[in-house]
Amino acid sequence: MKKIGKPQSAWQKSKERTLRSYKKRRDELIAFLGGACVDCGATTDLAFDHLIERTWDTRKLNRWIRMAVYWREAQAGHLELRCRSCNSKKGKPGVKKVVNLRRKVGKKVAKKAPKKTSPQ
C-alpha cells in the first residue's frame, strides 16, 4: 500500500531530484578514485583529501561547481580518498611543518635570549 501523506510541492521534488543527481556524481567520483581510503581501506564515511593545498574556499562555491573542481583535481592527480578519521589525522598540507618549525624557532630564541642583569 502506498503511504498517504502530504503531496510534495514542485520545489521539494526539484530539490530531491537535484540532490539525487549530485549524490550520483559524487559516487562516480568516489568510484573513479578507487572507492576506499588510501590509508586504512575503509569504504564508509569517505572525504576528499587535497594533496596540494586548495586555493579556493568551499563555502563560496555551490556543490555543482565544487564537484567540477574536485573532478579536475582528481584527473590531475591532486585528490585522494581518505576516511574522515585518516583525513583529520593527516591535517592540511604543509601546516604541521610550519607549526613545528615555529615551535622549534620559538624554543631556540627563548634559549638564546640574554639574561637581563640588574644595574649596579
Give the list of residues 6+ apart from residue 94 with CB closer than 8 angstroms, or none.
Answer: 53
> How far is C-alpha 5 from the chain's CA centre?
38
pLDDT in tens, 58-76: 777 888 888 888 899 999 9
94 sits in the region (left: phi over 0; alpha: psi -120 to 50; else beta) called left
Identify the band that residue 9 occupies on the pLDDT scale cut at 50, 70 and 90: confident
- Crossing angle of the two packed helices 10-32 and 63-76, in degrees rounded to 10: 10
Find out whether 60 and 22 touch, Cβ atoms under 8 Å.
no
Mean pLDDT of the chain: 77
- pTM, two decimals, is 0.62
Tens-digit pLDDT profile for residues 20-46: 888 999 999 999 999 999 988 889 899
Domain segments of the chain as ranges: 11-112
